Amino acid sequence: MGLDATARESNVRDSYKKYFIDNIKKVSNIELVFDAGLSTPKIHGQKNEIKKWVSITMGSKTRGTLSEMTLDLHCCIRSDSEGHGLSQLGDTVMNYLVDTTKTDGMRRIPFYQSKAGGFSGWTDIGAMLITDIIESGDIEGPDNTKFKTFTVTIKWASKI
């Protein structure tokens, strides 16, 4: 007998990737990379250098009846001498981490049992809750890329 769908790391990973692609990339038109650290995204067919992106990396996980994991969302921007663009990028990302329509302010990320081959045919199995957000200060890299990191704690009910 295999793991329950709510305890599978692959479903967690696919669910948060879908959420951020559907929102940060498609709605806000900001490039995303996953598990690439602070690397500049390489977009096939893109001739101009990417100036603004978010890199998302999965941190530690605890699996149990209330599972938990951390994600680091690295907001990166080039050619931003005074940091105003980084502030705007951080505000955009923060908007997708909180939900002001909820009394607790916590964002719910749809949780799916995913299938290989794209987003179609996925089964909704609940929600993952963003419970904590730690925002770093602004940092400037040696190549004049400015960045800040949101370390996010996500929790969800699971059968283990």
Distances (CA, A) of 44 to 17, 47, 87, 152: 19, 9, 28, 30
For residue 104, the enclosing domain spans: 5-157
> 100 falls in which pLDDT band (50, 70, 90)?
very high
116 pLDDT higher than 80: no
Q: Is the pLDDT of residue 127 over 90?
A: yes
Closest by Cα among 132, 133, 130, 129 to 150: 133
Contact 131, 152 (CB under 8 A): no
Structural domain tally of the chain?
1
The residue written with tokens 């559907």 in the block is 22
Phi-psi region of 144 (alpha: psi -120 to 50; beta: other; left: phi over 0): left
Q: What is the pLDDT of residues 46-90, one digit of tens each?
A: 566 789 999 999 999 999 999 999 999 999 999 888 899 999 999
Question: CB neighbours (10 Å) of residue 134?
Answer: 11
pTM: 0.90
Return the CATH number at 123: 3.30.2000.40
Distances, alpha carbon 111 to alpha carbons 34, 42, 75, 134, 147, in Å: 18, 28, 24, 22, 29
pLDDT, tens digit (0-9, with 9 covering 90-100), for 5-44: 999 999 999 999 999 999 999 999 999 999 776 666 665 5
CA–CA separation, 42 and 133 (whole Å): 28
